[in-house]
Amino acid sequence: MTMQYYGNLAMSPAHKKPLEQPPQRRPQMPPANRPRRRSIPLGEKLLYLLTVFVFVAVSSLVVYRYAGLYQMNREIQTTTSQYEQEAELTKDLQQEINKLKDPSRVEKIGKELGLEKAGVDQAITVQGAGGQSATALAP
């Protein structure tokens, strides 16, 4: 008679022991002479509770402070970024002012408008819209 056997081939099915069930334990009553374990005293419980409360409070304070520092750091970064943008804009505007104040540019625009360069001894006269005029000596 041949039987199929799955598992360890070194063991023969004939030598296999039946599964043993662990013995069932009976609930035992504590012996009268064995001391019972006492619970933690109320004072010690309160001390543990106070310790946990202090730990949570300190941890909350640390987290709150780090949150404040993070927010302040973000504000500093934002302000620094705005400052750099404004500094770049100021630099560009200063270059534009220097370009517009260039004497050769002013002279070129004056010639296009029909103005002439005043001599040393010439007086400058300006006519206003209301018929008023003003005269000044050239520097």
Q: Write out pLDDT tens, residues 90-101.
A: 999 999 999 999
With a pLDDT cut of 70, the percent of the chain lying above it is 71
The answer to whether residue 44 scores a pLDDT higher than 70 is yes
What does the pLDDT average to over 72-92? 97
Return the minimum-mean-pLDDT range out of 23-32, 68-77, 103-112, 120-129.
23-32
The set of long-range contacts for 74-83, using a CB threshold of 8 Å and a minimum separation of 24, is none
CA-closest candidate to residue 120, choices 101, 137, 136: 137
**What was the pLDDT predicted at 19?**
59
Report d(CA 82, CA 88) in Å as an integer: 10
The pTM score is 0.45
Q: Which two tokens stand for residue 38?
A: 């006492």
119, 130 contact by CB (below 8 A): no
